[in-house]
Amino acid sequence: MSENALAPPGSLFARLVAACGEDWPAYTGHPFVRGLADGSLAEASFRHYLAQDYLFLIHLARAYALAAYKADTLAEIKTSAAAVAVIVDIEMQLHVGFCARWGLDPAELERTPEAAATMAYTRYVLERGQAGDLLDLHVALAPCVIGYAEIGAALAAAQPEAAANPYCGWIETYAGDDYQRLARDAVATLDRLEAARAGPGRFESLARTFREATRLEARFWDMGLARSW
């Protein structure tokens, strides 16, 4: 999963992935992801991850609301609003559907304590958005938003018998047209923001942000796999 089909060569996202080195394949090919791919992931680990990811998505929606506030144009506001809609109406409903199988309702999910990995990643993204500009925020979001699309598409392509996989609903959501469209829009947004806002010498700072966010994503998988707090 090291080659990204969503971003053309030369795009900012492709260059950020290249600068990320081994941290990117460590995230997209994490043992948690491999367990989703073949259905071998322990149900308890998936359940722990889902509850934490539900909390993460609340903060992700807040981050896109912050992006709308930091936007300069109506088009940028609309892009951020569309992302909030996908998170609230599609991703969070996926979590609710899975958790309903175990008798967990949304109110119960929201009462779940945040794990350290959840707090570290969400606060990092929000801090970059508050301290930096719109480009900094979108770069911090990119490993999650675009990375999940890359992972979903790769797992779907490798699983012709996905219906037999207990995690096929998760895979289908991130491989689906709605989420793939969101990811392609995110790739285009990065290029547009770089052209408007990035001057000479800025790439190194953006790459650091991207790398840190990618490492925090991998630690989020670690948390789910170990069911740690």
Catalytic residues: 144, 217
Question: Tokens 């490798």 correspond to what residue?
Answer: 158
CA–CA dist 125, 65 (Å, integer) = 13
| Distance from chain centroid for Cα 8 | 19
Closest CA to 16 of 28, 31, 29, 4: 4
d(CA 55, CA 53): 5
- Quick check: 181 and 110 in contact, CB under 8 A? no
What span, in angstroms and rounded, lies between the C-alpha atoms of 189 and 182?
Answer: 10
Distant-in-sequence, close-in-space partners of 93: CB < 8 Å, separation ≥ 6: none
Count of beta carbons in the 10 Å neighbourhood of residue 93? 12
What number of residues does the chain have?
A: 229
